[in-house]
Amino acid sequence: MKEITPYEHIVQYYETDQMKIAHHSNYIRWFEEARVDAFEKIGLGYKECEENGIMSPVTSVTAKFKTSAEFYDTVVISIKFVKYTGVRLYIEYEVKDKATGQVRCTGQSEHCFITPEGKIISVSRDFPEIDAKLREYVEEKDA
């Protein structure tokens, strides 16, 4: 399995709440930023995939909050493709503080692949070159 280099995000002032910590809803956005970045890094950018008729909606997402990020902290988001079936992709996330290494949040997301019209796509059958690329980065090769 090939590894995907982590994504870094600086916590912005507008992402904090009255307690001066990053609001919990931002972690899901950071998951998405890291996911889009990861797909770009492995050569399967969202823009290019969508131009080729492949959409990848989130079908499920969870987050477990461990410690709080604050304004101007840099967080490092690592992602792993933990399971891929050819139709669904499962991703795990870990958000850490860059300076201390302290875990801020962990999470998972599940994705399917569809056409712009909403029809389910079997990437393994319909796009073997994309299937092969995804399998290079997934921990568990088959479901």
Assigned CATH class of 7-140? alpha beta
Looking at residue 70, the DSSP 8-state letter turns out to be B
Name the pTM for this structure.
0.93
What are 42-60's pLDDT values in tens digits? 999 999 999 999 999 999 9
What are 90-124's pLDDT values in tens digits? 999 999 999 999 999 999 999 999 999 999 999 99
Domain map of the chain by residue range?
7-140
What are 13-38's pLDDT values in tens digits? 999 999 999 999 999 999 999 999 99
Quickly list DSSP for 78-115: EEEEEEE-SSEEEEEEEEEETTT--EEEEEEEEEE-B-
Please tell me the predicted confidence (pLDDT) of residue 74: 98
Please tell me the predicted confidence (pLDDT) of residue 139: 84
Please tell me the predicted confidence (pLDDT) of residue 140: 72
Average pLDDT, integer, range 123-134: 96
Q: Say if residues 113 and 123 touch (Cβ distance below 8 Å).
A: yes
Please tell me the predicted confidence (pLDDT) of residue 56: 96
| φ, ψ (nearest 5 deg) of residue 81 | -85, 110
Average pLDDT, integer, range 77-97: 97
Radius of gyration of the chain (CA): 16
Q: CB neighbours of 121 closer than 8 A, spacing ≥ 6?
A: 54, 87, 113, 114, 115, 127
Please tell me the predicted confidence (pLDDT) of residue 1: 82
Average pLDDT, integer, range 8-16: 97
Residue from 41, 45, 11, 39 nearest 26 by CA: 11
| φ, ψ (nearest 5 deg) of residue 56 | -135, 75
Residue 79 has pLDDT above 70, yes or no: yes
Which runs of E-coded beta strand occur in the chain? 7-10, 58-65, 74-84, 88-97, 103-112, 138-140
Long-range contacts of 89-94, Cβ-Cβ distance < 8 Å, separation of 24 or more:
89/56, 89/113, 89/134, 89/138, 91/31, 91/35, 93/31, 93/34, 93/63
